[in-house]
Amino acid sequence: MYRIIEKKTLNDTVELMVVHAPFIARKCEPGQFVMLRVEEGGERIPLTIADYDRVNQTVSIIYQVVGYTTRKLAAKAAGDTVSDLAGPLGRPADIHPGKKRILGIGGGVGAAPLYPQLRKWQETGAEVDVILGGRGREFVILENDFRTFCSQVYVATNDGSAGVQGFVTDVLNRLLAEGNSYDEVIAIGPLPMMKAVVGITKPLGIPTGVSLNPIMIDGTGMCGGCRVTVGGEIRFACVDGPDFDGLLVDFDECIRRQGMYKDMEAHICQIGTGA
Ligand code: FAD
Ligand code: FES
Ligand code: MG
């Protein structure tokens, strides 16, 4: 059992939980994730470790309430427990001193996994800028947290309620047109967003890291559920990723595979709500 120490609402559908998990907090690195089970017998879901505190032995998860299990998780309060938290899983993000300027791009809840990675890049001595995007103001999360270490924080919203009106890719295009250059771009968000970012960076040869979120079942490389194709080769996101070289990822295949269980998920969600 893992105790929930703190719970915070970040917007209508996104929440943050701080969970007491001494072993994971001691070993985890940016880019890694946990497999969480809300209660005995329930399904396991992968969630990125959004932050960790080695002294207080806690990890933070930030999750969007999208279906049956995240709804069950959202029903928990500080002081309650979740039955399983397995991790840290996946490979840590490849972050090393030597790069001068990094641009992070976070779409919606993708800002959560981006946060620990950019903070670590800044700790290596790199200058770090970030573009945060969302449908509207309330979907842009962690803006103030990024401001504590990023040199520039740009915001783009579809409805123009915060920052500029448009997509994160509009801001990226503008920054590149203004002559900014980056040693690496890290894009984390919905697959179409990451695909669109790579559509801009690939022709310019800008190294671009992405974090893939295929359906994961065991999270340990055994079921094959999280298969992705990178550079023409099969990779398993839970053990070979979830971070990959975005310039080599077959995004169209990822998008097709992610929608495979949509009807079943909607059905389970209806059963869960009694609808
Ligand atoms: P469902 O109704 O079951 O599914 C809704 C959608 O969630 C699906 O269409 C699918 O796209 C996705 N999904 C469902 N089951 C899985 C599964 N077993 N594995 C992967 N995706 C699934 N979400 C966050 O909000 N915050 C995070 O930090 C985060 N980190 C992730 C890290 C990794 C490595 C991966 C693979 C996914 C991550 N996700 C994250 C997505 C999260 O796992 C799903 O939103 C969650 O499983 C939905 O469960 P559900 O039962 O509430 O919804
Ligand atoms: Fe089973 Fe990756 S989740 S192989
Ligand atoms: Mg589910």
Nearest CA to ligand 1 atom 31: 47
**SS3 at position 117:** helix
Q: Same domain, yes or no, for 153 and 69?
A: no
What is the reported pTM? Answer: 0.93
Domain of residue 68 covers: 2-89
Domain final position from 67, 89, 111: 89
- CA of 244 from ligand 3 middle (Å) equals 24
Rounded to an integer, what distance in angstroms lies between the CA atom of residue 5 and that of residue 32? 21
Rounded to an integer, what distance in angstroms lies between the CA atom of residue 254 and that of residue 12? 27
217 assigned to some structural domain: no
pLDDT category, 259, cuts 50, 70, 90? confident
pLDDT at 258: 83
Ligand 1 atom nearest residue 241's Cα? 34
197 assigned to some structural domain: yes
- CA of 192 from ligand 1 middle (Å) equals 16
Ligand 2 atom nearest residue 236's Cα? 2
Sequence-ordered list of residues with C-beta below 8 angstroms from that of 177, at least 6 positions apart, any chain = none
pLDDT at 190: 95
- The mean pLDDT value for 38-62 works out to 96
Q: Same domain, yes or no, for 109 and 172?
A: yes
CATH number at residue 110: 3.40.50.80
- CA of 2 from ligand 3 middle (Å) equals 20
- CA of 177 from ligand 1 middle (Å) equals 35
155 vs 273, more confident: 155
pLDDT category, 274, cuts 50, 70, 90? very low
CATH number at residue 73: 2.40.30.10
Q: Tens digit of pLDDT for each residue in 202-253?
A: 999 999 999 999 999 999 999 999 999 999 999 999 999 999 999 999 999 9
Phi, psi of 264 (to 5 degrees): -65, -40
Q: Same domain, yes or no, for 110 and 11?
A: no
- The mean pLDDT value for 1-21 works out to 96
Q: Tens digit of pLDDT for each residue in 61-97?
A: 999 999 999 999 999 999 999 999 999 999 999 999 9
Domain final position from 89, 106, 124: 89
Ligand 1 atom nearest residue 72's Cα? 52
Structural domain tally of the chain? 3
Domain final position from 89, 110, 142: 89
Q: Same domain, yes or no, for 54 and 118?
A: no
Strand partners of residue 19: 4, 59
